[in-house]
Amino acid sequence: MHGIALKYFVAVAQAGSLSGASKQLHVAVSAISRQIASLEEEVGSPLFDRAPRGMVLSEAGRLLLAHARRTQLEADEVLRQIAGLQGAPHDEIRVGASEGPAQGFLPVAMVDFRKQYPRTRFALHVVTPPEAMRAIANGDIDVSVSFNVEPAQGVQVLHSWRAPVYAVMAANHPLAARSQLHLEEVLAYPLALTDDKSTARRLLNRTCALEAMPLHAALVSNYSPALHGFVRHSNAVMFAGYISVAWRLVQDGLVARPVVSAELQSRNLQIQTMEGRLLPIGVARFIDHLKARIDALESTLESSPGS
């Protein structure tokens, strides 16, 4: 398969039409169409289903797109290594993360990693889990550290930890002395909630719907420091993963308590990469480093949950 044909194919897949790919590539529609036809002849199967409103990838097309993206990433890594022959190469690691890890252990993990590999550069993007999985599958990031409840096509889960949703409140809250809580007890207090994009909020919404419990928020925000401040200075309660808030519990005078709920226990923290991709050595090393960091945090949780 020729590189130019794969390039045109990827552009059509992303744009959803020949005309869209033509605008993106500044290449005539007829030239793109010929390359797509040549590819389809070579693989022996249609790569797109032609629809009135555009072109949709067939099953064969989805397989080829994943291959093309892996090939491009591996080619980029080879070029980086060749450029490094003129001097020590820089490793750029593109990370996508949920807000909790991005505010908590991830920056510290990056600092520690750079002490051992000082020529490493990081690009950190705070994204929702669906955005992270799309970015992984598209090759836009190298590794994702995010909370997930559903699998995704084109994404490989390298490591996973159970990450239940906890109730977080001020240390002097009436419920703070309890070792675990029932949801109806928590809902009796004012709530500070994330928006519907977070996995914690979606699981909370689902739980309340299943249990026919009303859910009313005193504050809704997509900015977690605002939620922490609201909870710290009132008798309100917020919901978050322990690993997201562990680093600030003591400094903010907060505690985290487990909630008795199967739904709120069903979330996982995952390290994800593109399925089938040969990872650059720097990315693989950082994933190992992250796993050790999260394992250490998990052992802290096991020894003193909610402290």
Please measure the distance between the N-terminal and C-terminal CA atoms of the chain and give it in whole angstroms.
Answer: 57
Could you write out the DSSP letters of every residue in 231-272?
HHTSS-EEEEEHHHHGGGHHHHTEEEEEEE-TGGG--EEEEE
What percent of the chain is modeled with pLDDT above 70? 93
Supply the mean pLDDT for the chain: 89
- State which amino acid sits at residue 22: S
- Which helix (H) or strand (E) covers residue 50, if one does? strand 48-51
Residue ranges and CATH numbers for the domains of the chain are 2-65 (1.10.10.10), 91-162+267-303 (3.40.190.10), 165-265 (3.40.190.290)
Of 75-89, 224-238, 282-296, where does mean pLDDT reach its minimum? 75-89
Distance of CA 190 to the CA centre of its chain: 29
Question: Region 63-70: what's the mean pLDDT?
Answer: 86
Question: Region 131-135: what's the mean pLDDT?
Answer: 92
pTM of the model: 0.74
Alpha-carbon span 21 to 45, nearest angstrom: 21
The tens digit of pLDDT for each residue in 135-182 reads 998 889 999 999 987 877 889 999 999 999 999 999 999 999 999 999
- Residue 51's CB: how many other CB atoms inside 10 A? 10
> What is the structure's pLDDT at 83?
65
Band the pLDDT of 86: cuts 50, 70, 90.
Answer: low
Q: Which residue has the tokens 């980086």?
A: 80
> What is the structure's pLDDT at 307?
43
The tens digit of pLDDT for each residue in 171-210 reads 999 999 999 999 999 999 999 999 998 999 999 999 999 9
In degrees to the nearest 10, what's the CA dihedral of 9, 10, 14, 15? -40
- Residue 203's CB: how many other CB atoms inside 10 A? 21
